[in-house]
Amino acid sequence: MAGPLEGVKVLELAGIGPAPFCCMMLADAGADVLRVERIKGGLTGGLTSKDGDVKSGSPHWDLLNRGRRSLSLDLKDPANVELVLKAASKADILVEGWRPGVAERLGVGPEVCMKRNPRLVYGRMTGWGQDGPLAMRAGHDIDYIAISGALWAIGRNGERPVPPINLVGDFGGGGMLAAFGLLAALVEAGRSGQGQVVDIAMVDGASVLMTMVYALREFGVWQDDRGANLLDTGAPFYEVYETADGQYMAVGAIEPQFYAELLKGLGIESDSDLPGQMDRSRWPEMKERFVGIFKTRTRAEWESIFDGVDACVAPVLSPAEAPQYPHNRARSTYVERDGQIQPAPAPRFSRTPSAIVRPAPHPGAGGEDALREWGVA
């Protein structure tokens, strides 16, 4: 059974990070994605797989590129630019992740593409957006979340902010926002017969992800002091604790009934000196108490204690451990494809399931077949 986006053609003008992640999601959901690599410049900074150069015939190491076919083109050649425009005329969605103006200089900007294909949804993925004082400035995930307020809020009290790797800007505020925006525009194009340009900025996406924090600030229950709030390690019942064997347990017992189960699992539910759960003045004291208790047992022992208990407690797993965790195995949250262990497509559809239809291609692999299937000579 094909995915829900079967029949949707996506032309990806190759970039790095969030745009490939967006196109991976579209391909997982059944879209036919053709990735156009620029021959000159190199997009991976000289990276190779962990085993060195990938052997011929084996899948490429970059899992973000899974599910599509690839063309390698020198876009300084007018004939190759014309080929891209022909492909754009057949596409439903085009995605590019370059700085503002680059696509126009290469001759594949939205105006010329949409002249060929008025129904085209043209997605533009950048960090700062297509306009504004910083639009032409270089940047990375950490910079975009810095000015959105998100980076400020991540970290412990009295310490500097901690970058959440590149999940908030690149992938949450970038790639997933792009997938949503492009498909929303595609639905509208189906009604109106007209495409449009979708301006996807990671600074905008990271700001949207902060909506609940702004709501809590408005309500007066969130301080700008880092590590002093309900969800930022300020509360003892929403924290990560080290165990006796140097591993960690994650605790998220926010609701009173879950907090009661947490206290029971820790063996202190009957202590007469326990403060109220929301007594902020005694949060530091309770956190120190929890620190001492968690260090008395190993992670495996705590897993056993909280197994089957609604205390919102879970082991903190490494990327190597996560695919083998029983719940993840039962749901096939991770899959092995062509010898590569990787996250499975998400979300899940009951009637038209997503799938990894092919591994990540080496640059230029399969593109000619895709063009023929799209009807491009």
Question: What CA–CA distance (Å, rounded) separates 203 from 143?
Answer: 9
In terms of C-beta density within 10 A (0-12 exposed, 13-18 middle, 19 or more buried), how is residue 85 classed? middle
Catalytic site includes residue 32: no
Greatest pairwise CA separation for the chain in angstroms = 80
DSSP bridge pairs for 314: 250
Using the CB atoms, write b or e for 121-152: b if 16+ within 10 Å: bbbbbbbbbeeeebeeeebebbbbbbebbbbe
Contact 283/235 with Cβ under 8 angstroms?
yes
DSSP per residue over 208-222, as a string? HHTHHHHHHHHHT--
Q: Which of 298, 348, 339 is nearest to 57 (CA)?
A: 339
Count CA atoms closer than 13 A to 227's CA, side-chain side. Answer: 12
Residue with tokens 């960090």: 127
Kindly name the residue from 28, 62, 92, 170 that is annotated as catalytic: 170
**CA 309, 311, 315: angle at the middle one, nearest 5?**
90
Question: What CA–CA distance (Å, rounded) separates 321 from 162?
Answer: 23
DSSP bridge pairs for 336: 341
**186 token code pair:** 């595609």
Catalytic site includes residue 170: yes
Active site residues per annotation:
140, 170
